[in-house]
Amino acid sequence: MTITLLVKVKGGAGSGNWGHAGRPGLVGGSGGRGGHMLTVSDFGEGFTTYQLIESTSRSLAETWDVDANDLNELATEEGFDLSGERLEHAKQSFLEYELRKWAGSSGDAISEASMAHIADKLGLGYNLRDTTSLDFIRSHAGMDRATRALGDAIYSNTQEWLSRKGVDGLQLLRSGSAEGNRLMLSWSLDWGGVRHESGRPVISRYVPRRLIFSTPVTGFGTFTEAEVVTLPLGD
């Protein structure tokens, strides 16, 4: 089955909630703003979710500027030891763990800290219901450096990937609302990735490239939900 993805590209040429549980299936919607239709093959032809996680982890590890001590401090907090691993292999192993965790539950302290760093850099205001986890990471120098570097790597990879595709922004869908001050929001490019069974209305919003933090091929994002994770959108 081919899932159709709807994007806005330069010149007109060319998900579910946080805690998401998308449902592959229906294709729908208009691209909007002159949007051009792409397919899921842009995320990887013939990939399964976990094959794509492996591929994304490998490429992300190449740009994650973290040293072994900081990485092991972060990994130790998550309950495992990477101190005996070669750094490149350790980075990829940890990233596979994080991206698999996202696919299973969506969002944790590490993803929150990495996104907060980018939101701060871009001057985007946001509110967190509970700052305990973020405060903990920020108070530990190694974990703080590691999560900031991870945010930089994911955001840079995302922006470069979208730019290569000629994408100025995406027409996105989700159930519920789109609070402008929320640090992270999970969307889908496709009706099939939206949690319809929640009973909440499905909303659509055009999000400029600058506010897109990650996709399944650049960091956090569930492949089967055609998921896109955005930064605070403002009013």
**Partners of 188 in the β-ladder:** 173, 227
Report residue 25's pLDDT band, with 50, 70 and 90 as the boundaries. Answer: very low
Average of per-residue pLDDT across 203-229: 92
Of 11-15, 43-47, 201-205, the least confident:
11-15
Closest C-alpha among 27, 8, 21 to residue 191:
27
Kindly tell me if the per-residue pLDDT of 22 is higher than 60: no
Give the type of residue at 33.
Answer: R
Of 14-28, 105-119, 179-193, the least confident:
14-28
Per DSSP bridges, beta strands 227-230 and 202-208 are: unpaired
Report residue 45's pLDDT band, with 50, 70 and 90 as the boundaries. Answer: low
Of 87-91, 162-166, 193-197, 205-209, which has the strongest mean pLDDT? 87-91
Residue 39 has what pLDDT?
Answer: 55
- Under a CB-based contact definition with an 8 Å cutoff, are residues 172 and 204 in contact? yes
124/195 Cα distance (integer angstroms): 27
Kindly tell me if the per-residue pLDDT of 137 is higher than 70: yes
7/16 Cα distance (integer angstroms): 17
Q: What pTM was estimated for this model as a whole?
A: 0.83
29/172 Cα distance (integer angstroms): 10
Report residue 18's pLDDT band, with 50, 70 and 90 as the boundaries. Answer: very low
Kindly tell me if the per-residue pLDDT of 201 is higher than 90: no
Which H or E element spans position 230? strand 227-230
Q: 24 or 221: which carries more pLDDT confidence?
A: 221
- Under a CB-based contact definition with an 8 Å cutoff, are residues 187 and 15 in contact? yes
Express each pLDDT in 100-119 by its tens digit. Answer: 999 887 679 999 999 999 99
